[in-house]
Structure formats: C-alpha cells, structure tokens
C-alpha cells in the first residue's frame, strides 16, 4: 500500500498521499490541505517545499550527487560536449551521431542576431553591468520574434524559439564583452563548434585571425556543462514561476537572468574573485577574513561557500578545483589568487563554524579563477554562468509547458493591521 501522511488539526485528521521519486525522495502532497482544513503550510524560502515533479536533474545534497537525466556530472563534464548536454536536457536522451549533427546544424543556422540590436548596445554605456545588458537584450528578442509571445504555439514553433535562443546566446554574450571593451563585434563563423565560435567572437578581433586553443575550449566546455542545470534553484524557480503565467520564453529566461544576478546565487562568482583580490591586497591574512565571516555582527559572508542543498560537498566544486590547477598549469599561469583560495578553503574546512553548519566550497568558489585565466573580466562571470544555465532553464520551461502546470501562486500569513476605519486627513 502506498504511504500516506496524517496531519492532526484540532479534532480532525487529514490524510495526504506521499509521492516517491526515482531515488526514493518523498514529498507529502498537501494540495488539498487548504480546501479541507483552511490551513496553509508556512515555509519561508521554500526550504522544505517541493514545487514540482521533474525528470531533468537529480541532486543528493547528502551524498554530493548531481545527475542530468540520470548521467553523472563527472562523466558528462569529462566526456560530453556542451551541445550534447543541452540536447540531453532539452530532449531527455543523449543524441545519436545523426541527431547531434542535425542539432548542431540547426544551431549554426541561427547564430546571427539582428543587426539593429547594435543600436541598443550603442545606447548602453560600456560600464553597464553585463547582466543588466543581457536582461535588456533578452527583452529585445521578444520584439524581434513576436510569434514567440504565444507559448501555446505549435510544438515546432516552441522548438524554434528554443533553438534560436540557444544559438544566439553566445553571440549576444560576445557582443556584451565587445561593448564593454568598446571594440567592434566579431560575427559568428558557423563552421566552428559552439564553444569555439563563442571564444572567437569574444576574444577574436575583426582585424586578426583568432587561434583556437584546445585547452581553452575544453575548459570552457566543461564550465558550461557544470552550470547547465541545477533543478529548482532560485533562477530556475523564477523561470518556472514566470513561465507558469503563460509568459513567453524570453520573458521567462529574462526572469532567470535577473534572479541569477544576485550575489547569493550566480552573482557569487564575481563576488568570490573580488573577495580573493581584497584578501590579497589586505596582505593575504585568511584567518582575519574567516573571522569576519563568522562574526554575526558583520554582514560579510565567505562568498563561494555554503549551499542550500549540498551538505557534504558540491560535486561541481570538486571538478572545478581540479580543473583550475590543470588549466592554469597548461596555460603557464601562476595566479597567487589560487593559493589564497586554497588556503581559505583549507582553513574553513577545519573550522568548527563551517563544519557545524556543513558549509563547503560551492561551484562559484573556483570558477572565477578559471574564467580569469581564460581572459574574462570579473563582471562577465555571471553572464558566463547564464550562458551555461540556458539549456537547463529552457528544459524546465519546456517541461512546465508540456505538463500544463497551473500558475504558481503561493499563499501568505497576513500579519499586518486588522481592519480599521479611514480617517480624514485632519483627524490623523
Ligand atoms: N559564510 C558564513 N556563514 C554562512 C555562509 C557563508 N558563506 N553561508 C551560510 N552561513 C551560515 C549562516 O549565517 C547560518 O548561520 P546560523 O545558523 O548561525 O544563522 C547558516 O550558515 C545557514 O545559512 P543559511 O543562510 O540559512 O543557508 P541557506 O541555505 O539559506 O543559504 C547560501 C545558502 C548559498 C545562500 C549561503 O550559504 C550563502 O550566502 N553563501 C554565500 C553566497 C554563495 O556562495 N552563493 C552561491 C551559491 S552556489 C551557486 C548557485 O547559486 O547555484
């Protein structure tokens, strides 16, 4: 017999079904709770709330497991291409050789962005934060592809919107980088792979050939895969919540970008590097900064540490730390920041404050060190996270649409003033 949960409220017992996931994750289905009892559940920050069933990504915070559609992140990061992973997330299965080549071909047909978008970039000061620029450009896409405004359009139409966005995102991110530098845009070269094309548009110059370095390609490919999905995190939940109102894909992904920008989420990668730089400039005293992070009267937190779900280790951080060492060595870079990061990590991992709270390095702790070695300015880091996360956001949006889920609309417990009469302005 399937398990049920019983809530005793006053003299009444309410019974609820328990849903069990593939990995024996269990959730009490309280969808009838309010109707039968008048009560709602109270869970600020959704720490215990399962917002959806999903077949895309599985995480075990206790065991440090991350799988996309059943495949371990370690295997995907070491063996797959980013487009293979994007296909896996969007379609549910790894592509066959012929599926992959037609997917790649379709992507290359849509890499150009409308030339008029250059004028929007012209209106943005070069100092504008790249995440703000990305949000602006995603809204502009809805103006150029108005047919995508209707998310109920045919399956084919939805697919085209997804392909378009996946194809244009690297071009857009490269344009943001060029706008930041005040350099002319480099157009896509479609005989190149997704990552190679992105790197050429970003680091190449219109006047010179760009030499593709396989070490850089492999590092970028790995970073994109590691960021590609992470189940119901803050930005993905934003995408799903906005998408649940039947908003179009550009608006939904734009909401994801906005949520990702925050320093507690994807914006942490920029903050980690700024923190490590500050520690270096301050003389490299990691204990001093660790004490700041532990001081409850100091708002400073150790950026790149802690995670809502991972309470043992973040498997992405483990892979990235190893890659940082390898890539810097292969590129012949000796970055003192890497030493400071390792010293800080070691001190934190041996400190009871961090041990007791199960705080470990997360994906953002070492990623910035690699991005910097590849030549990205620190303000671009969170945009690179968004570039990687895009297939995940779109797969989650697609799943939401396919299941016709209802609009997301949490309840609240009102604690404001009870009803009172309106007083005329002279009597207040
Ligand atoms: N430095 C110092 N103390 C911390 C930190 C930290 N980085 N993270 C959590 N704590 C403490 C926190 O003060 C609290 O202590 P106490 O129980 O004494 O009040 C306890 O640990 C639990 O923290 P929480 O804020 O309740 O945990 P949460 O699950 O709500 O927050 C988090 C998770 C990631 C927002 C948080 O750990 C944090 O702010 N980390 C720094 C920012 C960061 O690196 N974010 C990137 C996350 S991974 C990339 C992604 O977004 O996917």
3-state SS of 8-36 is: EECCEEEEEEEEECCCCCEEECCCCHHHH
Question: In angstroms, rounded to a whole number, what is the distance separating the alpha carbons of residues 311 and 318?
Answer: 14
Is residue 363 in contact with ligand 1, taking CB distance under 6 Å? yes
Is residue 265 in contact with ligand 1, taking CB distance under 6 Å? yes
Rounded mean pLDDT of 4-11? 94
Q: In whole angstroms, how far apart are CA 24 and each of 18, 52, 58, 313?
A: 11, 15, 11, 21
Question: In angstroms, rounded to a whole number, what is the distance separating the alpha carbons of residues 151 and 401?
Answer: 8
Rounded mean pLDDT of 140-163? 90
Best CA proximity match to 270, nearest among 352, 383, 190:
383
Question: Does domain 4-65 fall into CATH 2.20.28?
Answer: yes
Percent of the chain with pLDDT over 90: 91
What mean pLDDT value characterizes the chain? 95
Is residue 359 in contact with ligand 1, taking CB distance under 6 Å? yes
**Tokens of residue 176, six digits:** 């943001």
Rounded mean pLDDT of 197-226? 93
Q: Which residue has the tokens 């409220």?
A: 9
Is residue 267 in contact with ligand 1, taking CB distance under 6 Å? no
Pairing between strand 71-72 and 26-28?
Answer: unpaired
Pairing between strand 57-60 and 4-9?
Answer: unpaired
* CA-nearest residue, atom 3 of ligand 1: 301
Confidence of residue 150 (pLDDT cuts 50, 70, 90): confident
Q: Decide if 19 is catalytic.
A: no
Q: Which long-range contacts (CB under 8 A, 24 or more apart) does 343-349 make?
A: 343/284, 343/286, 344/276, 344/279, 344/286, 344/289, 344/290, 344/302, 347/286, 347/287, 347/290, 348/290, 348/302, 348/305
- Same fold for the domain at 4-65 and the one at 72-410? no
Rounded mean pLDDT of 171-195? 94
Confidence of residue 384 (pLDDT cuts 50, 70, 90): very high
Is residue 316 in contact with ligand 1, taking CB distance under 6 Å? no
Cα–ligand 1 centroid distance for 246 (angstroms)? 32
Cα 214 → chain centroid: 25
Question: In angstroms, rounded to a whole number, what is the distance separating the alpha carbons of residues 243 and 39?
Answer: 27
Is residue 307 in contact with ligand 1, taking CB distance under 6 Å? yes
Express each pLDDT in 296-324 by its tens digit: 999 999 999 999 999 999 999 999 999 99
Q: What is the pLDDT of residue 119?
A: 92
Q: What is the pLDDT of residue 154?
A: 86
Q: What is the pLDDT of residue 148?
A: 87
Tell me the three state secondary structure of residue 302: coil
DSSP 185: P
Catalytic residue among 129, 229, 307, 314: 307
Rounded mean pLDDT of 82-109? 97
Q: In whole angstroms, how far apart are CA 224 and each of 208, 272, 382?
A: 26, 18, 12
Rounded mean pLDDT of 363-378? 94
Kindly give the number of the ligand 1 atom that is closest to the alpha carbon of 235: 51
Kindly give the number of the ligand 1 atom that is closest to the alpha carbon of 308: 29
CA atoms within 13 A on the CB side of 153: 17
The pTM of this model reads 0.96
Which of 306, 316, 320, 341 maximizes ligand 1 atoms within 8 Å of its Cβ, making it the mutation to test the pocket? 306
- Categorise residue 306: left if φ over 0, alpha if ψ from -120 to 50, beta otherwise: left
Q: What is the pLDDT of residue 99?
A: 98
**Across the chain, how many H-helices and E-strands are there?**
18, 6
Kindly give the number of the ligand 1 atom that is closest to the alpha carbon of 301: 1
Domain extent listing, the chain: 4-65, 72-410
* CA-nearest residue, atom 9 of ligand 1: 306
Q: What is the pLDDT of residue 110?
A: 96
* Phi and psi torsions of 13, nearest 5°: -105, 130
Is residue 386 in contact with ligand 1, taking CB distance under 6 Å? no
Confidence of residue 106 (pLDDT cuts 50, 70, 90): very high
Cα–ligand 1 centroid distance for 242 (angstroms)? 25
pLDDT at 293 over 70: yes
Cα–ligand 1 centroid distance for 294 (angstroms)? 11
Confidence of residue 254 (pLDDT cuts 50, 70, 90): very high
Is residue 301 in contact with ligand 1, taking CB distance under 6 Å? yes
Q: What is the pLDDT of residue 1?
A: 58
* CA-nearest residue, atom 46 of ligand 1: 265
Question: In angstroms, rounded to a whole number, what is the distance separating the alpha carbons of residues 400 and 406?
Answer: 9
Express each pLDDT in 9-58 by its tens digit: 999 999 999 999 999 999 999 999 999 999 999 999 999 999 999 999 99
* CA-nearest residue, atom 50 of ligand 1: 265
Cα–ligand 1 centroid distance for 363 (angstroms)? 13
Cα–ligand 1 centroid distance for 384 (angstroms)? 22
Q: What is the pLDDT of residue 151?
A: 82
Q: Decide if 307 is catalytic.
A: yes
Q: What is the pLDDT of residue 58?
A: 98
8 Å CB contact between 188 and 201: yes
Q: Which residue has the tokens 């925050």?
A: 262
Confidence of residue 153 (pLDDT cuts 50, 70, 90): confident
Q: What topology does CATH give the domain 72-410?
A: Citrate Synthase; domain 1 (1.10.580)
Is residue 304 in contact with ligand 1, taking CB distance under 6 Å? yes
Cβ-based neighbour number of residue 349 at 10 Å: 14
Is residue 362 in contact with ligand 1, taking CB distance under 6 Å? yes
């Amino acid at each position: 017999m399937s398990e049920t949960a019983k809530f005793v409220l006053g003299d009444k017992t309410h019974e609820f079904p328990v849903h069990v996931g593939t990995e024996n994750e269990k959730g009490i289905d309280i969808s009838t709770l309010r109707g039968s009892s008048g009560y709602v559940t109270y869970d600020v920050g959704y720490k215990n709330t399962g917002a959806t069933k999903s077949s895309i990504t599985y995480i075990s915070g206790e065991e440090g497991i991350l799988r996309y559609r059943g495949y371990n992140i370690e295997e995907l990061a070491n063996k797959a291409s980013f487009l293979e992973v994007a296909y896996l997330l969007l379609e549910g299965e790894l592509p066959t050789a012929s599926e992959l080549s037609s997917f790649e071909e379709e992507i290359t047909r849509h890499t150009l962005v409308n030339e008029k978008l250059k004028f929007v970039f012209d209106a943005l000061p070069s100092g504008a934060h790249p995440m703000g620029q990305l949000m602006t450009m995603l809204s502009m896409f809805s103006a150029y592809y108005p047919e995508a405004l209707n998310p109920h359009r045919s399956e084919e139409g939805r697919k085209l919107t997804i392909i378009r966005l996946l194809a244009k995102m690297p071009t857009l991110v490269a344009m943001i980088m060029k706008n930041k530098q005040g350099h002319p845009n480099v157009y896509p070269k479609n005989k190149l792979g997704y990552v190679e094309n992105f790197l050429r548009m970003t680091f190449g110059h219109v006047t010179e050939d760009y030499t593709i370095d396989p070490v850089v390609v492999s590092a970028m490919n790995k970073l994109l895969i590691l960021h590609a999905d992470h189940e119901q995190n803050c930005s993905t939940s934003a995408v799903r919540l906005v998408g649940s109102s039947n908003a179009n894909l550009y608006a939904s992904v734009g909401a994801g970008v906005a949520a990702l920008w925050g320093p507690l989420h994807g914006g942490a990668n920029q903050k980690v590097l700024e923190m490590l730089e500050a520690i270096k400039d301050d003389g490299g005293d990691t204990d001093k900064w660790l004490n700041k992070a532990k001081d409850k009267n100091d708002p400073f937190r150790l950026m790149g540490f802690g995670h809502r779900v991972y309470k043992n280790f973040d498997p992405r951080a483990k892979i990235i730390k190893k890659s940082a060492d390898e890539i810097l060595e292969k590129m012949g870079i000796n970055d003192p920041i890497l030493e400071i990061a390792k010293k800080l990590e070691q001190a934190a991992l041996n400190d009871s404050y961090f041990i007791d709270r199960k705080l470990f390095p997360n994906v953002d702790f070492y990623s910035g060190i690699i991005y910097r070695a590849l030549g990205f300015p620190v303000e671009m880091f969170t945009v690179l996270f968004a570039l990687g996360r895009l297939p995940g956001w779109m797969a989650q949006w697609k799943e939401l649409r396919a299941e016709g889920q209802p609009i997301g609309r949490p309840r609240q417990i009102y604690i404001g003033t009870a009803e009172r009469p309106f007083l005329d302005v002279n009597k207040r």
